[in-house]
Chains A and B, each alone.
Chain A
Amino acid sequence: MFGGTNPNKDVEVASPPDDTVSALKFSPPSVPQTFLAAGSWDCQVRCWEVEASGKTVPKAAQSMGGPVLDVAWHDDGSKIFMASTDKSVKCWDLASNTSVQVAAHDAPVKTCHWVKAPNYTCLMTASWDKTLKFWDTRSSVPIMSLNLSERCYCADVDYPMAAVGLADRSICLYSLEGKPAEVKRVDSPLKYQHRCLAIFKDKKTKQPTGFAVGSVEGRVAIQYVNPTNPKDNFTFKCHRSSGTNNGYQDIYAVNDIAFHPVHGTLATVGSDGSFSFWDKDARTKLKPFEALDQPLTKCAFNHTGQIFAYAMGYDWSKGHESYNPSKKNFIYLRPSFDDLKPRST
């Protein structure tokens, strides 16, 4: 159970998915226990209970008509939304273990996020059909549908802010106050395809104030919505081979970014099979880790910031030729509260 192929001695989640993990989310603070939900390319979403010891107990699974691309928890922790390449999003009611379709697009749905505003709740979905839709989950017609200039590649929601990254590398920012409205369109600070996006909060006000976006060229940009100083925005390199391989430095995609809910520091995972912890304010790497033998596709912190989960599996970065279905996929858990403390507090 412990260690195994993981050089960092992290805890393995029991009964991992049978294909690459495409989404990884912990349950919200409203539930007393800690649950972990993972969507996978095997068309399933699985749910585990994570005990304080790090032991994981598989609880249930639900399937979709196609590979799952994203999952999101309802704020009350009773439901999980599952976005799939079958162009639909379903709501999985954990109590009855049933699912109903709650959203539809004309192309695979890349992201889904539950929006909890004081005066309304809705599900935000973004798709490769170049639309962003908001649903109240009871109607087959979206409350609102916004056109995007390109396919959605990544998105994040932290009320009252939503950010959507597109295939043309632009980032659309939305305000969700009152009702969703586009606030601004940001040109990307990165020159390569965007792959992941995460909103971060201001340290003092605890309000969303900016976002981090990662690209396929091993680089992350920290971008404030309204930077007080233009130099607040910066990019940093990550997930690149340290030495050279046949004279080349290998540059890997940044597959996911997650911010620590307490410290405001961040974690990145990459196609190189490594994860790193960073302090964006001090602009330093907090801790390097040994790379695993397969890419890391997703990562997440639980709401207290005690647990860091990351998923290992093939991410297609070396094409279908390198796909080896017999390779097992893993999800690992790591105690993260101390590792992610900023150095000087």
Chain B
Amino acid sequence: MGRKKKKASKPWCWYCNREFDDEKILIQHQKAKHFKCHICHKKLYTGPGLSIHCMQVHKEAIDKVPNSLPNRSNIEIEIYGMEGIPPEDIKEHERQKTGGGKVSDSDDDEPAAKKKATAALLGPGPSTLTPGILPTPMGPVPPGMYPGPMGMNHMMPHFMQQRMMMPGMRPLFPAASVAVSTPSKPTFPAYSNATISAPPTTSTSSELRENGDVKPPAANTCPLVTATGAGSKIIHPPEDVSLEEIKARNAKFRPKPKPDAPSTPVSAPPMIAPSTSQAEPAKSASAPIVKLNFQVAAHMSAAVAAARQQAMRRPMPMGMMGMLGQVRVPVPVSMPVPVLPVMQQFNLMRPIQPGMLLPGGMMQMGAMFPGGVPGLPMMQPRYR
């Protein structure tokens, strides 16, 4: 069983994403590349080890693992070979290897008992296998929580087991856990002729995640904008949809209703003529708002729409009332005062906007807020 599962994942370096045929080589690589003291060139065994060495011997603080990817530079995570890699990163790596997002999703359906078994297997595993050299891996580090100082280590196995079973913690899928719990076994000779298949690149952080994300959102799998690395966080809503689309879903930003619209066919808006004729521009302006309810959502998937619904349930900020009428914008003298037909045109198109009807067609900036005119309702969820 171990052999078959292991074939899926070669040992790889968490710090630089490079793959190795043999975990021994990986460990050598890590010692030489990532755990070497830049002052005395002593090779340490782990990131925290290096950090403590530098602090105690050279009185220097190291905040990043040398030669690591930007989001993998956390010096506090104890990683030795394949041990101690946060399970979500293992999963991402696995997903990237298998080329699709499907593999890792399957474990969601596993019965609880099996999850527990997997977790328990992983917990004590690393520390018992190589007790001599290996400081106990901290294992998965939940976001926002970082392992404490080394002094805590003696209690780790128990602590980890507990934490591994915390609700909400996704278990590893079996392939990954097997790989992790048998770290000191040499790789099978059969694999040794394989070459390094993933040389480190600067943008690897995203490859890990984005594999399954290229497609537009399907019914229940929304792609997410999240950094995989332990050390970085993308400031963006989780959904991989543009900020404008997310913002446009908010009721406040819905296009204004045009009450007489529904009879106008969308497919054939009338010829647009400059304001010589008043009726036609009004008509064409009304054309696009058939099916108002689906206006913004028309291009969105069901999942996105669902997310919007959720967002809609929250309280809506009211605002922009205070600025009314404060800002008067002078129209340049050269601009002729629009004649009455123009006014009618505006009136036809947007009957609820008293601000449009200012004498002489003057534009008053403050008077044209979306529904922000006192006495008129805001764009409330009445269009949902």
Closest chain A CB from B18 CB (angstroms): 18
Interface membership of B266, Cβ < 8 A? yes
A216 and B298 contacting across the interface, CB-CB below 8 Å: no
A65 and B144 contacting across the interface, CB-CB below 8 Å: no
How many residue pairs link A and B with beta carbons under 8 A? The number is 243
B363 and A317 contacting across the interface, CB-CB below 8 Å: no
B272 and A102 contacting across the interface, CB-CB below 8 Å: yes
Per the 8 Å Cβ criterion, residues 328-351 of B in contact with A are 329-332, 334-336, 338, 342, 345, 349-350
Per the 8 Å Cβ criterion, residues 285-327 of B in contact with A are 285, 287-289, 295-296, 298-299, 311, 314, 317-320, 322-323, 327
Interface membership of A75, Cβ < 8 A? no
B243 and A96 contacting across the interface, CB-CB below 8 Å: no
Per the 8 Å Cβ criterion, residues 4-50 of A in contact with B are 15, 18-19, 22, 41-44, 46
Interface of A is mostly: loop
Q: Which of A59, A69, A110, A195 contacts B331 (CB 8 A)?
A: A59
Interface membership of A253, Cβ < 8 A? yes
A168 and B216 contacting across the interface, CB-CB below 8 Å: yes
Interface membership of B220, Cβ < 8 A? no
Interface membership of B225, Cβ < 8 A? yes
**Chain B: how many interface residues by the 8 Å CB criterion?**
88
Interface membership of A150, Cβ < 8 A? yes
Inter-chain contacts of A191 with B (CB < 8 A): 203, 205-207, 209-210
Inter-chain contacts of B289 with A (CB < 8 A): 65, 86-87
A97 and B338 contacting across the interface, CB-CB below 8 Å: yes
User: A65-B255, A65-B289, A95-B336 in contact; A216/B250 too (CB < 8 A)?
Assistant: no
Inter-chain contacts of A77 with B (CB < 8 A): none
* B interface footprint on A187-230 (CB within 8 Å = 1, 0 otherwise): 00011110100000000000000000000111100000000000
Report the separation of the CA atoms of residues A141 and B181 in the bound assembly, to the nearest whole angstrom: 65
B6-14, B162-170, B228-236: which one contacts chain A? B228-236
Inter-chain contacts of A22 with B (CB < 8 A): 244
Report the separation of the CA atoms of residues A269 and B110 in the bound assembly, to the nearest whole angstrom: 45
A325 and B318 contacting across the interface, CB-CB below 8 Å: yes
Most chain A beta-carbon neighbours within 10 Å: one of B270, B281, B334, B335: B335
Interface membership of A85, Cβ < 8 A? yes
Interface membership of B357, Cβ < 8 A? no
* B interface footprint on A42-86 (CB within 8 Å = 1, 0 otherwise): 111010000000000111111101110100000000000000111
Q: Which chain A residue lies CB-closest to B257?
A: A65
A241-249, A258-266, A304-312: which one contacts chain B? A241-249
B19-27, B97-105, B365-373: which one contacts chain A? B365-373
Report the separation of the CA atoms of residues A108 and B90 in the bound assembly, to the nearest whole angstrom: 40
* A interface footprint on B204-244 (CB within 8 Å = 1, 0 otherwise): 01110110001110000000010100011111110011111
Closest chain B CB from A182 CB (angstroms): 20
Interface membership of B29, Cβ < 8 A? no
Inter-chain contacts of A105 with B (CB < 8 A): 288
Inter-chain contacts of A294 with B (CB < 8 A): none
Inter-chain contacts of A41 with B (CB < 8 A): 247, 253
Interface membership of A179, Cβ < 8 A? no
Report the separation of the CA atoms of residues A107 and B295 in the bound assembly, to the nearest whole angstrom: 7
* A interface footprint on B257-286 (CB within 8 Å = 1, 0 otherwise): 010000000101111111100000100110
User: A87-B255, A98-B338 in contact; A61/B329 too (CB < 8 A)?
Assistant: yes
Interface membership of B361, Cβ < 8 A? yes
B281 and A101 contacting across the interface, CB-CB below 8 Å: yes
Interface membership of A128, Cβ < 8 A? yes
B330 and A85 contacting across the interface, CB-CB below 8 Å: no
Report the separation of the CA atoms of residues A208 and B227 in the bound assembly, to the nearest whole angstrom: 33
Closest chain A CB from B300 CB (angstroms): 8
Inter-chain contacts of A65 with B (CB < 8 A): 255-256, 258, 285, 289, 349-350
B233 and A251 contacting across the interface, CB-CB below 8 Å: yes
Inter-chain contacts of A85 with B (CB < 8 A): 248, 253-255, 295-296
Interface membership of B70, Cβ < 8 A? yes
Interface membership of B245, Cβ < 8 A? yes
B299 and A139 contacting across the interface, CB-CB below 8 Å: no
B216 and A195 contacting across the interface, CB-CB below 8 Å: no
B206 and A104 contacting across the interface, CB-CB below 8 Å: no
Q: Can you give 13 A-B contacts (C-beta < 8 A)?
A: A43-B369, A46-B365, A60-B331, A65-B289, A101-B285, A139-B271, A140-B268, A140-B269, A190-B206, A191-B206, A235-B203, A251-B234, A253-B234
Q: With A84-B255, A95-B334, A191-B205 given, can you name 11 additional A-B contacts, CB distance below 8 Å?
A: A61-B368, A85-B295, A87-B255, A87-B289, A150-B216, A190-B206, A193-B225, A217-B227, A316-B243, A325-B320, A326-B322
- Using a CB–CB cutoff of 8 Å, the interface residues on chain A facing chain B are 15, 18-19, 22, 41-44, 46, 57-63, 65-67, 69, 84-88, 94-98, 100-102, 104-108, 110, 128-130, 138-140, 150-151, 153, 167-169, 190-193, 195, 216-219, 235, 237, 240, 244-253, 271-272, 315-321, 323-326
A-B pairs with lowest CB-CB distance, top 7: A325-B319, A191-B206, A66-B255, A86-B255, A87-B288, A248-B233, A316-B247
